[in-house]
Structure 1
Amino acid sequence: MNQSTNTKSTNVRWSICVLLFFATTINYLDRQVLSLTWKDYLQPEFHWDNTDYGNITALFSIFYAVSMMFAGKFIDWMDTKKGFLWAIFIWSIGAVLHAFCGIATSGILTGNWFVGFEGAKESIATVNNVSLVISTSVTLFIFARLVLAIGEAGNFPAAIKTTAEYFPKKDRAFATSIFNAGATVGALAAPVSIPFIAKAYGWEMAFIIIGALGFVWMGFWIFYYKKPHQNRKVNQCELDYIQQDHDDQAVNENGEAMGKKFTFRECFKYRQTWAFAFGKFMTDGVWWFYLFWTPAYLSSVYGMDSTESALPLFVLYIITLLAIIGGWLPKYFVDKLGLDPYAGRMRAMLIFAFFPLLALLAQPGGNISYWIPVLIIGVAGAAHQAWSANIFSTVGDMFPKRAIATVTGIGGMAGGIGSFLINKGSGVLFDFSHKNWTTVDGVPLLQKYPQFNTERIPDDFFANLKTSGAVISDGINTGYMIIFSICAVAYLVAWFVMKGLVPKYKVIKD
């Protein structure tokens, strides 16, 4: 019961939005630690190649996809407060687990379990079977990513459900774009913090320190979050504003949505679900590719280590903050042009879908300066985040609150499958192009060194070749051009299919 009856509306909903923003920031910081440490620290220690890293990130995506399918139902069942707490607790545990994969690898392969981080490195270095080190360490990191994925899958269903609780439909895209900006800020903070933590204290401490942030957030959520009608800081004026379009939201005395529950099978009967899922399938993988592979891109193509790439990555993610327009533009179309929420959102999404086409120029532009692909990826990332804020909001536009987390989970699963395909495919493509399309002094690598048809290329092979004065044209550049081209057209394909499935605004009542 709200005790305050002030005529001036309170703004508690924006404080809740800030909490969602920080949860999303932590979410993206946790998943970025691996991408910012593997080239400089994990690859030398565990002898990984692009395929190994691609397998880890791809499986994370598929774990995330499957978890998203159930996370939505879990959040609907547990409700927002408890569901969010469980989600961030699990993913924080998973984030910290990564730090102990080296010790576990040492214990499994050498029997030296009770060693510190440095002792684990020394033990692993004594193992002569490189393939065994690779397979063991990759398996352990995959397990840690599994735990991380299970927890992180709950973030967006819980955040979208919270947004639906605290904001009317016309404001949800703007609120979503604000908390979704946490993804950008997390990605922005990562390159200027994680590499330097890893350099000063070891890669293990980077996982531990960043992972611990989730436990801090839990304390704020426990003491601050309540449903709007139960929150004493929300006065009646703000509550009326929040509930202005609750035409589908009859609630019981506890403020819980009444009416039938939506099962997975029932959700799949609606074209709106398929439109949302297809849009996520086509575009989520693009963002995850940029997130997971841009540090490796700067390392492989331009020879930067993680500290050298900190400034370019920082600038890249600063640009993605332009995504805040993603929440304002559909609101403008609705308020000023009189469009319905879905029409306004789809018009904005069509505009955003054209910007990723710039990725077609990323690799050619890199021949002039690495800043050109950095700036282009930043613009493409901003377009994605603007698109993402709106595609999430289409669920709240057309489904009742009791179905939002479930449908969001279905879309997240589809997005995770798309991410699995692009991450797995990228790792395989980059290793294939690196080996099969590279030339040394104008001669194809495998023709000049036929032993690599069956053998793994040593970690320091290309560095030694460059030291000897050989002229190398790396085929991995072509591999990146192929992936950039796929990323460029994905949004337009998604938009036209979504528009075909749901041409007009249609609210689902039951």
Structure 2
Amino acid sequence: MAQNTETKATNFRWSICVLLFFATTINYLDRQVLSLTWKDYLQPEFHWDNNDYGNITALFSIFYAGSMLLAGKFIDWMDTKKGFLWAIFIWSIGAVLHAFCGIATSGLLTGRWFVGFAEAKEAIATVNNVSLVISTSVTLFIFARLVLAIGEAGNFPAAIKTTAEYFPKKDRAFATSIFNAGATVGALAAPVSIPFIAKALGWEMAFIIIGALGFVWMGFWIFYYKKPHVHKKVNASELAYIQQDKDDEADSLNLEGGDNGKKFTLKECFKYRQTWAFAFGKFMTDGVWWFYLFWTPAYLSSVYGMDSTQSALPLFVLYIITLLAIIGGWLPRYFVDKLGLDPYAGRMRAMLIFAFFPLLALLAQPGGNYSYWIPVIIIGVAGAAHQAWSANIFSTVGDMFPKKAIATVTGIGGMAGGIGSFLINKSSGALFDFSHKNWTTIDGVPLLEKYPKFNTERIPEDFVNQLKASGAIVSDGISTGYMIIFSVCAVAYLVAWGVMKALVPTYKVIKD
């Protein structure tokens, strides 16, 4: 075993945490390209409406949910290094595939396959059957999202498993909050990079350039990652610090790197209340974050008339605010070290505090009547609260389950979160189109009463803007649709916390 014997502990574990941070950053960049290009580029090219986009994002969520269930087991089976490499390879392929959906649509509808991106656009524009363009393009983007979801599902199970390997229990929430901040940084970098790449080089190149980042990360992971007990950069003192909980944990790694004891099957994991508590917490709250991630650019466009470059600054400020989530890792550590609480009690107390901040979302839409900065700031605070909550709910798995079960249980929770995300994205798209059509008034007259043809036809995207330009007084019903979803997001965390606490009231470690 190649261990350094220096007295002073090394800190190589934080280098591994940095790699996890960048993997999560790339993960969120890849999933954000669609939300930042669909309104300005994909919608006019493929004639999508909110429901079409909602279907794509909702199905991504359900693909992600199913994949998370299998990804956790896959990571436990393949182990961390190989499992993570496969995950990021697959999702990077999926990210790049989006760029070729236009060419594929052109090929299927016009027979023109071997063309460039510009020629594909021209070919699609000649197709008279708009419904066929919509259905074909949506199907192709759904397939690309499927590949992306299968790969991205491996990120958090692998990252949580790595954190359990490299950090003692008291530090895991802090380490998780650091790598989980990659989600915020990815979301932060997206609006100040993707719209400008799309504007300069085309929306296709935005998918290709961002998707290629994953292949770069793979090289670093191959070079840097090994188990801590065999890593040359981890000395004996650091290893002792990492393994300080081994007498309390259900399975410590033996010196040869293998796992002691039996494996945990999916069926066995579902026997424990701890699994159901984690899964319910993810089901109730993951969809909130994904709603903010996928729909905030559309919200700024639909309600405030911003294009993707105009919304870059508000989105940048929004995600800067979410960096406050780093407190999510520090607060439970304070409760454990200073107040003497056990890890689970400290985490649950911190999560209860974080669960109150999303209630501010109830004021987002009313505040938007005064300035769009009010909902931007409120969504930023709610996003920070979510990320702080997320860092701790992930860490509850490492607190109570043996290392060999962590990725599997994380996958189960990810599946539940994906189902919740499917429901909110699907319902949001349908609600926004419904409210836009049925609750919009023009000079005090309902839109459908004034223009009954829209009972059976889609409303053109710029129709309402043209009415406003003509001097009509328009009250767009889509604002009410957003208010409804914001209200759901506001109360989700308190409901989740209450059920989790009822299922697992006190700290209990699951043994082999």
Alignment match, 2:381: 379
User: Do residues 173 (structure 1) and 170 (structure 2) align?
Assistant: no
TM-score, normalisation: structure 1:
0.99
Cα distance between partner residues in 2 of 1:313 and 1:461: 26
Alignment match, 1:446: 448
Residue among 297, 308, 312 paired with 1:306: 308
Contact 1:91 1:151 in 2 (8 A): yes
Alignment match, 2:355: 353
Cα distance between partner residues in 1 of 2:321 and 2:453: 45
Cα distance between partner residues in 2 of 1:505 and 1:200: 54
Q: Structure 1 stretches of 5 or more lacking a match?
A: none
Contact 2:270 2:276 in 1 (8 A): yes
Q: Which amino acid aligns with 2:244?
A: Q
**Following TM superposition, by how much is the alpha carbon of 1:253 offset from its aligned partner in structure 2, in angstroms?**
4.4
Q: Which amino acid aligns with 1:265?
A: K
Q: Which amino acid aligns with 2:157?
A: P
**Following TM superposition, by how much is the alpha carbon of 1:488 offset from its aligned partner in structure 2, in angstroms?**
0.2
Contact 2:40 2:308 in 1 (8 A): yes
Alignment match, 2:336: 334
**Following TM superposition, by how much is the alpha carbon of 1:467 offset from its aligned partner in structure 2, in angstroms?**
2.6
Alignment match, 1:121: 121
Deviation string 1:222-281 (CA, Å, 9 cap, x unpaired) is: 011000011011000000000010132243443122111111111010000000000000
Q: Which amino acid aligns with 2:45?
A: E
Deviates more, 1:241-250 or 1:480-489: 241-250
**Following TM superposition, by how much is the alpha carbon of 1:466 offset from its aligned partner in structure 2, in angstroms?**
2.3
Cα distance between partner residues in 2 of 1:486 and 1:464: 32
Alignment match, 1:4: 4
Deviation string 1:287-340 (CA, Å, 9 cap, x unpaired) is: 000000000000000000000000000000000000000000000000000000
Alignment match, 1:26: 26
TM-score, normalisation: structure 2:
0.99
Contact 2:3 2:231 in 1 (8 A): no
Alignment match, 1:68: 68
Contact 1:2 1:236 in 2 (8 A): no
Q: Which amino acid aligns with 2:396?
A: T
Alignment match, 1:409: 411
SS at match of 2:36: helix
Q: Which amino acid aligns with 1:162?
A: T
Q: Which amino acid aligns with 2:485?
A: I
Alignment match, 1:473: 475
Alignment match, 2:148: 148
Contact 1:104 1:113 in 2 (8 A): yes
Cα distance between partner residues in 1 of 2:311 and 2:58: 23
Alignment match, 2:109: 109
Cα distance between partner residues in 1 of 2:458 and 2:315: 30
Q: Structure 2 stretches of 5 or more lacking a match?
A: none
Cα distance between partner residues in 2 of 1:340 and 1:252: 26
Cα distance between partner residues in 1 of 2:459 and 2:359: 35
Cα distance between partner residues in 2 of 1:147 and 1:497: 33
Deviation string 1:187-206 (CA, Å, 9 cap, x unpaired) is: 00000000000000000000
Structure 1 runs (4+) deviating above 4 angstroms are none
The root-mean-square deviation of aligned C-alpha atoms, in Å, is 0.7
Q: Which amino acid aligns with 2:195?
A: P
Cα distance between partner residues in 2 of 1:303 and 1:471: 16
Deviation string 1:78-128 (CA, Å, 9 cap, x unpaired) is: 000000000000000000000000000000000010110000000000000
SS at match of 2:77: helix
User: Do residues 200 (structure 1) and 215 (structure 2) align?
Assistant: no
Alignment match, 2:42: 42
**Following TM superposition, by how much is the alpha carbon of 1:468 offset from its aligned partner in structure 2, in angstroms?**
2.0
Deviation string 1:332-371 (CA, Å, 9 cap, x unpaired) is: 0000000000000000000000000000000000001000
Cα distance between partner residues in 1 of 2:251 and 2:113: 55
Cα distance between partner residues in 2 of 1:141 and 1:356: 32
Corresponding pairs, count:
510
User: Do residues 135 (structure 1) and 135 (structure 2) align?
Assistant: yes
Cα distance between partner residues in 2 of 1:101 and 1:336: 55
Paired-residue identity, %? 89
Contact 1:51 1:427 in 2 (8 A): yes
Contact 1:2 1:234 in 2 (8 A): no
User: Do residues 55 (structure 1) and 64 (structure 2) align?
Assistant: no
Cα distance between partner residues in 1 of 2:119 and 2:460: 24
Alignment match, 2:97: 97
1:196-235 mapped onto 2 (5 Å cutoff):
196-235=196-235
Alignment match, 2:508: 506
